[in-house]
Chain A
Amino acid sequence: MNINLTLFAQLISFAVFVWFTMKYIWPPMIKALDERKAHIADGLAAAERGVHEKELAQQAALEKLHEAKQQSAEIVSRAEKRAAEIVDEAKGQARVEGERLLIAARAEIDQEANKAREVLRTKVAELAVMGAEKILRKEINAEAHKDIVDSLAKQI
């Protein structure tokens, strides 16, 4: 157990290695560790934020969905109302048109009947005149008695 110069040699090498560690080993290691710590903290914070944002988005989506449902229900009910209106309108129109057609048809029928009655009247008159002619062939001149035939026909 000799105490000798080794002691001081060791002291010097101790100082050198502590200096080396302090200068070249410790700072980069601590820097890397701190950076990683910051990194992890950031990551965790981001994850938390993400979860929060997801919740918000879900809520927003639910709201939107609800709104859309409401809107669509509104649209459907409006459309139904409109359809009923259209049907009613169409019904009214059809009724009016039908009546119009009926009136027109009646008028036409009346007209035709009048026309037919006129024709018939003429024919009957002619027939009467022809009958009378046949009976009175010799005495009655068609031309001379035209006035009488016409007035007769008018009276029929």
Chain B
Amino acid sequence: MASGDTITSSEYIQHHLTNLTFGRLPDGSWGIAHSAAEAKEMGFWALHLDSLLWSAGLAVLFSYFFYKAAKNATAGVPGNLQNFVEMMVDFVDDSVKGSFSGRNPLIAPLALTVFCWVFLMNLMDLVPVDLIPRIAAEIGIGHMKIVPTTDPNITFGLALGVFALIIYYSIKIKGVGGFIHELTGMPFQTSNAALKPIFFVINLFLEGVNLIAKPISLSLRLFGNLYAGEMIFILIALMYGSGIAMGLFGGALQFVWAVFHVLVITLQAFIFMTLTIVYLDMAHNEH
């Protein structure tokens, strides 16, 4: 609501859905976009500063507390922080042991990072939608989206990281030939030499879709859930401008939605972590 006194609902929503974008401005200089249209103009060579800073900030927060706990970790009686961190580590370790059959020292720390980070980024959704953008507006920052997981770039970034690991481990464990065989030799198999090229193409298509679907589904699920949740918070926030009765009703709705969202936030973080583990387990296993 920083862009003027009289704005329409769609302008309000549009405003809330615009990132703080750094890129090439229409006049050729580099700077921060002033409107959604300007941000769109910047094309690929632009950065969503808010998403990046909030996600990095939350990751630093996570790293700080967990590092503090890890540095002072003792086998003796744990303090409060260590207790909490141990609980998380134990939980992730159990999940990894339950879903991942191989031995890889990367998987468990990866799962822990994914779970905590996604959870923290999702958690930002529970901050009232206008609070931080309003503060940002007061200090002269026009756009501020504080939930990084409602930015597809962020979820795709995470999913791409996982995807890269899937490819890397598939090739590392099975070799290039094994990986190609996995992509082309299944699900249709034949000993007929004439049919082989046809099956090769069909298999490559099916398995290729299967492979590509992993990062896409991973990121879009998270993004979709959080984007929808954020959207509903924004729509509820619109009610506050329409009188006391609607405001109170909106307040009640926001509370209910927030309570429900606590579940969504945790669940999405958990699903993201579990799928990461499962996909990497599949990459480690020969079929």
User: A: which residues have CB within 8 A of B?
Assistant: 1-11, 13-15, 17-18, 20-22, 24-33, 35-36, 38-39
Contacts and interface: CB of A to CB of B under 8 A. Distances in A.
Secondary structure type dominating chain A contacts: helix
Contacts of A15: 161
A33 to B, nearest CB: 6
* Pairs of residues from A and B, 8 with the lowest C-beta to C-beta distance, nearest first: A10-B157, A35-B75, A6-B153, A32-B73, A22-B109, A26-B109, A28-B70, A6-B48
B55 A26 contact: no
Interface string B68-93: 01110111101000100110011001
Contacts of A3: 44, 152-153, 156
B114 to A, nearest CB: 8
Nearest to B112: A21
Interface residues of B, number: 52
Contacts of A33: 86, 89-90, 93
B56 interface: yes
A25 B157 contact: no
Contact of A22 (B59, B105, B158): B105
Interface of B: 19, 21, 23, 39-40, 42-48, 51-52, 55-56, 59, 62-63, 66-67, 69-71, 73-76, 78, 82, 85-86, 89-90, 93, 105-106, 108-110, 112-113, 117, 151-154, 156-158, 160-161
Contacts of B151: 6
Contact of B44 (A5, A9, A39): A5
Given A10-B158, A21-B63, A24-B67, A32 B75 contact: yes
A33 B97 CA distance: 15
Contacts of B110: 18, 21-22
B162 to A, nearest CB: 9
Nearest to A19: B109
Nearest to B36: A2
Nearest to B219: A7
B87 to A, nearest CB: 10
Find the residue from B67, B76, B113 having the highest chain A CB count within 10 A. B113
A41 B157 CA distance: 43
Contacts of B44: 3-5
B75 A10 contact: no
A31 B106 CA distance: 15
B161 A4 contact: no
B109 A18 contact: yes
Contact of B59 (A2, A17, A32): A17
A10 B93 contact: no
Contact of A4 (B42, B75, B85, B108): B42
